[in-house]
């Protein structure tokens, strides 16, 4: 991080990075979502970023999908761009 980024704006670096990526990468909004099954087995799939703000990152999914079930059971997840 550089000195010009205020600590109270944690998404500012992401917003700048994402804007740059969007200019040069096709499907820059593609991210990998990692969750875990009830047994703790990693479960990973690609999803599309639809937005990001102080509440978190937004992606759309079917509430009856396996990823939704895993997130309801364990809301801890990881994203990788």
Is 26 exposed, middle or buried, given 0-12, 13-18 or 19+ CB atoms closer than 10 A?
exposed
CA distance 52 to 42: 24
Residue 1 inside a domain? The answer is no
Residue 39 sits in a domain whose CATH number is 2.30.110.10
Does residue 6 surpass a pLDDT of 60? no
Chain segment 50-64, per-residue pLDDT in tens: 999 989 999 999 999
Residue 6 inside a domain? The answer is no
Q: List the one residue out of 55, 44, 53, 52 whose CA is nearest residue 78.
A: 44
Residue 42 inside a domain? The answer is yes
Give the full edge-to-edge strand order of the sheet including 78-80. 42-48, 30-36, 78-80
Does residue 72 surpass a pLDDT of 60? yes
Residue 2 inside a domain? The answer is no
pTM: 0.79
> Looking at residue 10, what is its pLDDT?
79
For residues 11-22, average pLDDT? 92
Residue 56 inside a domain? The answer is yes
Residue 70 inside a domain? The answer is yes
CB 32 within 8 A of CB 80: yes
Structural domains counted in the chain: 1
Name the residue range of residue 45's domain.
12-80
Chain segment 19-56, per-residue pLDDT in tens: 999 999 999 999 999 999 999 999 999 999 999 998 99
Q: What is the DSSP letter of 35?
A: E
């Amino acid at each position: 991080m550089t000195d010009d980024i205020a600590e109270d704006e944690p998404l500012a670096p992401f917003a700048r990075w994402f804007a740059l990526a969007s200019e040069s990468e096709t499907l820059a909004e593609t991210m990998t979502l990692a969750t875990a099954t009830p047994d703790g087995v990693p479960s990973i799939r690609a999803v599309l970023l639809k937005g990001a703000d102080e509440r978190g990152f937004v992606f759309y999914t079917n509430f009856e999908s396996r990823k939704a079930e895993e997130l309801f059971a364990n809301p801890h997840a990881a994203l990788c761009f």
